[in-house]
Structure 1
Amino acid sequence: MTTGLTPGAGGGVRPIRLLLVDDDPLVRAGLRILVGGSDDIEVVGEAGDGAQAVTAAEAHWPDVILMDIRMPRVDGLVATRRIRGRPNAPQVIVLTTFDVDEYVLEALRGGAGGFLLKDTPPREILEAVRTVASGAATLSPTAIRRLIDHVADPAAGNRRALARARLAALTGRETEVAVLVGHGRSNAEIAGDLGMGVPTVKGHVSRLLTKLDLNNRVQIALLVHDAELL
């Protein structure tokens, strides 16, 4: 199991700092109770809408935010873009149901590190928080494909052309790495597939993020999907 303890001052470790954002106080209460049973994650704040989420993120410096999508005033999509667009931004996991998949895609393109269904088993919610806090994504290629296939998008042709134009700036090796990221492969798996060291793969991924002006692996995967390279 992934540990949720993160490096702290003086070389020690500290629990993952979690911010809960949902307009339903009962949902927030349930999540707080869930986290209360874990010694490596702590709730540092709550917010009832997107505007409060932006303020709370600045006040509490969370590592991860569990973000609802449908909320009054400012929704989770806008809040995610605002939060993730700032330096040293916390990771965001959006909470959703499958009847709003198009919103999930928009949130992922806005920088969210993954998504959870609201009926996700408690153990998986905690593990997803730990995974995202470590810098990895919570999305599998199957989940990404299910979302994309589920949404009938008339703008898909334009997105494909734009995605391919952006990817044209990559070298051949960088394109190979991007495609494998799109398949949900880990750095170690990519290294094995391409016959290179893990540090080299990490370097390629970092250059991909810089060249493509993206901030996480999920966005690389979505871009590759948009370009229909999988």
Structure 2
Amino acid sequence: MDIAMPDVDGIEATRRLQSLPHAPHVLILTSLSPSSTVERAVEAGAEGFVSKTDAPDDIIRRVLGVCAGAPQFNTASQKQLIDDLSESQPRSRRDAARELLGALPDREREAVMLAAEGYTNAEIASRMFISERTAKAHLSSAADKLNMGRVQMARLVERADLPARL
């Protein structure tokens, strides 16, 4: 299956083929390999990925391999898959951290973010225009909800990669 086709691209065609009752094995053969193309092809159901610039014997071997049910990826596509996975992992960790912080009430989240920046309870209270006791209560409540201590919450804020001020 070629990626670049006139009406429907090869990834969408692969996805449609995989919805058939007796779906065929699909090997992507293309000269294109923009970022995430291999990952998208695999998600669509492709069992292999080769370049038109690969040696003819390699292409034939990979076609036969896919027909036999064995995944077939040339070296470049293997590297791209690994790169795509390593790039998506930090994003998912970031998104999970953001989701946890987003579940906190605004004032608790603000206190946690200030604590993560290194402010003391007194400084947090001053910046938030609340008493130190209330600042401690916000941090304690957030820690209980997140089931983590102050250092772990600071790491969570770092992982969330939020702008300095919400």
Normalised by the size of structure 2, how large is the TM-score?
Answer: 0.48
Q: Which has the larger radius of gyration?
A: 2
Q: Which structure carries more strand by proportion?
A: 1
